[in-house]
Every structure is written in C-alpha cells, then in structure tokens.
Amino acid sequence: MRTTVGIIGGGPAGLLLARLLHRAGVGCVVLEIRTREYVEHRQRAGMLEQGTVNALREAGAADRLNAEGLVHHGIELRFARERHRIDFPTLTGGRTVTIYAQTEIVKDLVALQLAEGPPLLFETRALAVEDAESERPVVRFVREGREETLSCDWVVGCDGFHGVAREAIPAAVSRTYAHDHPYAWLGILAEVPPSCEELIYARGERGFALHSMRSPSVSRLYLQVPVGTELEEWPDDRIWDELAARFAIDADWTLARGPVTSRSVTPMRSYVHEPMRHGRLLLAGDAAHIVPPTGAKGLNLAVSDVRILSRALTAWCSTGDTQLVDRYSELCLSRVWQATRFSYDMTKMLHAQPDGDAFDQRMQLARLRRITASRHAAAELAANYTGLPLPEWV
C-alpha cells in the first residue's frame, strides 16, 4: 500500500489529523490496532479548550459538539471547607471551555472518516516504522493475520504513550524527561445529574477530588488514590463516601449519588520526548508527551500538535516548502512544556503528598489563597486552563 501520510493510531490525534489532511486534499491512511467499538468507548478526557472546539468546527466535525457540548465559564476551587469561583471570561478577555467527552469526539470523527474517507483500518497493528531517515519511510503492519507494508512520504506516530512509532527514533538523538507522581486517579462515570454547574477541584488532607460531568444526566468524578490501588478495594459506597468527605464545605451542599457505570484507575505521569520529529517520522499527542490529568491538557495538546502538523504537511504537499515541517518539533515543544508545567503545578498544589509534611500543606494553601485573593494570580490560572495561544497562522 502507498500513501502520502501514514498515520499510526486512530485516537483523537490520528483521527483529527486525517480529517484535516483529507479536507486539504492530502492523501493519508490511518492504522488502528483496536476495534471501532473499543476506541469509541474508551473513557478519558472531557474538558476542551476553546481552541480545540474551534479546530473541530473548522474540521467540519462539530455538529453534535455544537448541539450537546456544555459551555463553562469557570471552575470552582475547594479547600479549607470553602468554595472559590474562578471566572474565565472576565480574567481572559472572554474565553470559555466546553465539556464534551473524548468518546464523542472519536465517534464523530470515525463516522465522518468512514463516510467520506480517507481509509481508516481498524484491527490493524503497526509493528514498526522503517527508513525514517529516507524519503520513503515505511510502516510494517499486520492485518487479518498478514504482514503488509505502507509506503509513505511522511509517517505520523499518533499511537499514544505505549505505541511503536517513538521506538523508531534512535536513542542517540532522543532525549526523554519524565516524572512519576506518587498517586493515581480512580475515575467513575455515574448515572446521576451533576451536583454542580461547573467543575470542582477539591484539595484536602484526605486527598484530591474532581467533580466533572458528561451531560446534564451523567457525572464524571475522580479521587486521588495510592499508586497500586485495585478497583476491588473500592466498592461504590466507599467511593461515594470518600467523594462526599472530600467535597464537604461549611455550606449547604450535598453530593448526589447514582449508579456507577464505569470505573478505572489511571497513573499520573509527566513525560516529554524530544525531538518530536526524526527525518520523515513525526510524533503527535500522547506518543510524544503525557501530562497528569489535573488541568485537562492531554487531549488539548494532542489537538494543537495536529493543527500545527496539518498546516506543515499541507504546505509541504502543495509547494514542497519544508519551513514549517522543519520547525514542527520546536513549535510544538514550547507549548508542550508550558502545559507540562501547568499540569505539574496544578497536580502538586491540589494533591495530598504521601511523603509531605505540615510545611508542604501550608505551601499548598498559600498557593490557593494567592489565586483566590489576587486577580493577577487567578488570571494566570485562567489563561493556562483555557489554553495558551497557538501561532496566528494555525
């Protein structure tokens, strides 16, 4: 098989890149190891920056997002049994965020791609990227038990943190930066209307908790738990009791409970691979970098990578101009490091540190008090949360 851009991975990064390239008239093929059913039901992100919403609109993939997405104008910070609202539009010159699940973005993009192209091959495992340093890189893959090759002008690794594309970059040119946070998140989906209108980030001695949502009738909640936590240790009553204790404030507020329909435990890691390009192989999204979920940056970063990349590959395809593709890694990494810093700071500020002491707790509270007392500090949080700007030409 032969194409212009071979894309490994049909998650949000791979699917959106394929859509953007297709609309710009650039040929591509997406290889996805899982079934359609699996990728459409993998519970993950839900908070979209305005730039992410705009990108989906520009890709002609936002009909349902426009109708069903929940526009939020702020978040609530809870600590010391108090609640404090951060208002995004007044602090950022009008910016908002939107709640719309990653599962729904994937469903929308898969449906469009199967209807309009380009080829999207499920149950197709990429084995390796070869000849990345040549002008004809190749993806070796297995489909229906047969090994085949996809010959390309460019290969893009959108295959997530555990993918194979990154392995094709020689160790001699790779630099990796990683930090494992000493806790995990237990996430649930519950059939119950959210107990809040906006997301609640709660810090307390018992640990962090986050109240998010998927729709007016479905809540999404997260609890900080120790690394190595097994789901069997957390029957539903224990989860709800712990959430209620962590969200408790000195005011009239109760957490509504309902049937839990999905549970998972997620480790918390910061990781950046440099560079994001080697020869004709480019990395995008979780294949190149991951952040702890506090601050909701992972999916948004994946989208900003592919927005930059689609411009760069379209320019190369139409005029042979390599200026943008040559700067791809540098353009993405400056934003990636800012999101890595923000996610790290939010994580440190809001989670109970297993080896922390009373001094660390006071530092967390001092940071939170500063954000809620100073418009300047709150504006800095709001600017990062709603998304730092991309270059104008994107």
User: Which residues, other chains included, contact 295 with Cβ-Cβ below 8 Å and sequence gap of 6+?
Assistant: 339, 342, 343, 346, 347, 384, 385
Total chain residues near ligand DHB (CB under 6 A): 11
Considering only residues 149-178, where is the footprint of ligand FAD by CB under 6 A?
A: 158-160, 163-164
**Cβ 371 vs Cβ 377: under 8 Å:** yes
- Does residue 387 bind ligand FAD (CB under 6 A)? no
Total chain residues near ligand FAD (CB under 6 A): 36
The interface partner of residue 84, options being ligand FAD, ligand DHB, none and the CB cut-off 5 to 8 Å by kind, is none
Q: 186-225 mask for ligand DHB (x: CB under 6 A)?
A: -------------x----------x-x-------x-----
- Does residue 12 bind ligand FAD (CB under 6 A)? yes
Terminal-residue alpha carbon distance, the chain: 31
- Does residue 387 bind ligand DHB (CB under 6 A)? no
Q: 9 vs 80, which CB is nearer to ligand FAD?
A: 9
Which residue among the candidates 12, 22, 72, 211 is catalytic per the annotation?
72
Query: In residues, how long is the chain?
Result: 394
Whether 119 is catalytic is no
- Does residue 293 bind ligand DHB (CB under 6 A)? yes
- Does residue 187 bind ligand FAD (CB under 6 A)? yes
How far is it, in rounded angstroms, from Cα 334 to Cα 325? 15
DSSP strand pairing (209-215 vs 218-225): antiparallel
Whether 297 is catalytic is yes
DSSP H helices, 93-139, are 102-116
User: Which residues, other chains included, contact 90 with Cβ-Cβ below 8 Å and sequence gap of 6+?
Assistant: none
- Does residue 279 bind ligand DHB (CB under 6 A)? no
Give Cα 324 to chain centroid, integer Å: 24
How far is it, in rounded angstroms, from Cα 281 to Cα 287? 12
| Beta partners for residue 283, in sequence order | 157
Which residue among the candidates 222, 297, 328, 351 is catalytic per the annotation?
297
Considering only residues 255-314, where is the footprint of ligand FAD by CB under 6 A?
A: 266, 285-286, 293, 296-300, 302
- Does residue 69 bind ligand FAD (CB under 6 A)? no
- Does residue 61 bind ligand FAD (CB under 6 A)? no
Whether 201 is catalytic is yes
- Does residue 9 bind ligand FAD (CB under 6 A)? yes
Whether 222 is catalytic is no
How far is it, in rounded angstroms, from Cα 213 to Cα 221? 7
The residue behind tokens 């002609």 is 60
Provide, rounded to whole angstroms, the least separation between the CB of residue 228 and ligand DHB: 21
**Cβ 335 vs Cβ 304: under 8 Å:** yes
Is residue 257 packed enough to be buried (19+ CB in 10 Å), middle (13-18) or exposed (0-12)?
middle
Using alpha carbons only, give the angle 6, 271, 172 rounded to the nearest 5 degrees: 70
Q: 296-335 mask for ligand DHB (x: CB under 6 A)?
A: x---------------------------------------
Which residue among the candidates 118, 183, 194, 201 is catalytic per the annotation?
201
**Cβ 182 vs Cβ 227: under 8 Å:** yes
Provide, rounded to whole angstroms, the least separation between the CB of residue 366 and ligand DHB: 22
Whether 72 is catalytic is yes
Considering only residues 91-150, where is the footprint of ligand FAD by CB under 6 A?
A: 102, 125-126
Is the N-terminal amide bond of 354 cis, ω within 30° of 0?
Answer: no
The residue behind tokens 């729709």 is 215
The interface partner of residue 295, options being ligand FAD, ligand DHB, none and the CB cut-off 5 to 8 Å by kind, is ligand DHB
Sheet with strand 5-8: strands edge to edge: 120-121, 28-31, 5-8, 154-157, 281-283, 277-278
Structural tokens at position 185: 């998140």
| Beta partners for residue 139, in sequence order | 129, 150
In the complex, which residues of this chain contact ligand DHB (CB under 6 A)? 45-47, 199, 210, 212, 220, 293-296
Q: Which residues are annotated as catalytic?
A: 72, 201, 293, 297, 385
In the complex, which residues of this chain contact ligand FAD (CB under 6 A)? 8-14, 31-34, 39, 44-47, 102, 125-126, 158-160, 163-164, 185, 187, 266, 285-286, 293, 296-300, 302
